[in-house]
A and B are shown apart, each in its own frame.
Chain A
């Protein structure tokens, strides 16, 4: 956890410890992968023992879970949801579709690599990933948070122009307001 090059202060350590053990998850479940989440959260696999619990709205959430493919229409909503969330925030790309388009590689209206539009911290591979893989993904995210490496939100702020350019390439009628932070 500690090393000489990147020594964290005690406060940062405590913050990261609470952040990793208390993830309020907003599952963006328009793709087919959302069906794996009830099993992950309920009795059989019980993600709540890791501190993962569902959040009702983006304002309360720390973790955005994108399950499955994103069409250009739903991408607008994802960007809007992501920008409504409060820092520090994390994104998990769930399933092959968020990595390379998966079985929608040839589709005319789905995006292929999610990381070009919003910063993804952890990918969970598979089609579909089973609840075990989802929990492994949560564990990996917790490791990154503890090491202070899950800084997708900072990346998004610093490279906003690049992300906006990519977003506008697929969204012809730009639906969102322009921020000036």
Chain B
């Protein structure tokens, strides 16, 4: 009984950690963009204010059952993915040992898509034409970046004969190296795929406010928008922590985790600030050129 309570409170603490870190990263991103555009910019806690305000708004929109379930799917997928990510090296943190099993990397590759699919169903129910365009763009882009991402993950799994994240982390601890040096091509392919995963500029074709009126979320206001913002923050933490765990040897404590994830987070942010938006076909062909090439190289590196 006690262990279950400890596990649950640990899981709750993990969710809070992911939410807080993701929200602050979003705020820092807005500040960075503002400084680069020679503005003062909002305070870095601005995203918290936005979310609290959105949760305190009325939400009286009804387009059908799926519309109410779409945002719930999104946040369910984020939290489920989070539960399988080892936050720190070793035996978990704050009583919480992640739900690790021997095939969890394969499971995560599937689970990380689930949120987008749930959102697609929810946005489809609203019947807004902008949502439909945004959803088709999002799914096309997903076809683009999932292929190099999966290839780099498969390369790692084949190279080290393990399909679990903790297995990969243990290998890095034993060999005292990072996998980004053991298989550099897998790291490059995964980082290029991460640019698309974050939906930041230049790959913000899904939520482009000037083209498709924020796309899938165009009919979602109030609490649903808040739910999606929270889901996005948690999911950003999930992606960054997964990359740190797999490629950069995990983290021994929270400060190291924050430093490593933030360094990784700067890649999509800084790449995005100086890049205008791609068109849909440009975004997809981007992923099917160099990232795919590096993915194939990674698999070859793993086999020979």
A interface, CB within 8 angstroms of B: 14-15, 17-19, 21-22, 24, 42-43, 46, 48-49, 51, 53-54, 56-62, 85-88
Interface footprint category on B: 20 to 34
Known: A14-B52, A59-B220. A86 touches B57 (CB 8 A): yes
Report the bound CA distance from A43 to B53 in whole Å.
Answer: 25
Other-chain residue from B38, B49, B221 in contact with A59 (beta carbon distance below 8 A): B221
Please give, as numbers and ranges, the residues of chain A lying within 8 Å of B37 by CB-CB distance.
42-43
For the complex, is B9 an interface residue (Cβ under 8 Å from A)? no
Please give, as numbers and ranges, the residues of chain A lying within 8 Å of B30 by CB-CB distance.
48
Report the bound CA distance from A86 to B50 in whole Å.
Answer: 15
Question: CB distance A86 to B49 under 8 Å?
Answer: no
Segment among B73-81, B211-219, B260-268 that sits at the interface with chain A:
B211-219
Report the minimum CB–CB distance from B84 to chain A (whole Å): 32
For the complex, is B184 an interface residue (Cβ under 8 Å from A)? no
Please give, as numbers and ranges, the residues of chain B lying within 8 Å of A19 by CB-CB distance.
53, 56
Known: A57-B218, A59-B221, A86-B222. A49 touches B39 (CB 8 A): yes
Question: CB distance A22 to B39 under 8 Å?
Answer: no
Interface string of B30-59 (1 = CB under 8 A from A): 100010011111100010011011001111
Report the bound CA distance from A49 to B219 in whole Å.
Answer: 26
Report the minimum CB–CB distance from A41 to chain B (whole Å): 10
Question: CB distance B46 to A46 under 8 Å?
Answer: no
28 A-B contacts, Cβ less than 8 Å apart? A15-B56, A17-B49, A18-B53, A21-B46, A21-B49, A22-B49, A22-B53, A42-B37, A42-B39, A46-B41, A48-B34, A48-B41, A51-B49, A51-B50, A53-B42, A54-B209, A56-B209, A56-B213, A57-B213, A57-B214, A57-B221, A59-B61, A59-B220, A59-B222, A60-B217, A60-B218, A86-B58, A86-B60
Please give, as numbers and ranges, the residues of chain B lying within 8 Å of A15 by CB-CB distance.
52-53, 56
Interface string of B221-251 (1 = CB under 8 A from A): 1100100000000000000000000000000
Report the bound CA distance from A74 to B157 in whole Å.
Answer: 60
Report the bound CA distance from A66 to B41 in whole Å.
Answer: 25
Report the minimum CB–CB distance from A166 to chain B (whole Å): 24
Question: CB distance A59 to B218 under 8 Å?
Answer: yes
Known: A18-B56, A48-B42. A86 touches B61 (CB 8 A): yes
Please give, as numbers and ranges, the residues of chain B lying within 8 Å of A59 by CB-CB distance.
61, 218-222, 225
Other-chain residue from A21, A48, A60 in contact with B221 (beta carbon distance below 8 A): A60
The 10 A-B pairs with the shortest beta carbon distances in the complex, nearest first, are: A59-B221, A56-B214, A87-B58, A56-B209, A46-B39, A18-B53, A56-B213, A18-B52, A49-B40, A22-B49
Other-chain residue from A43, A49, A58, A62 in contact with B42 (beta carbon distance below 8 A): A49
**Residue of B34, B57, B59 contacting most chain A CB atoms (<10 Å):** B57
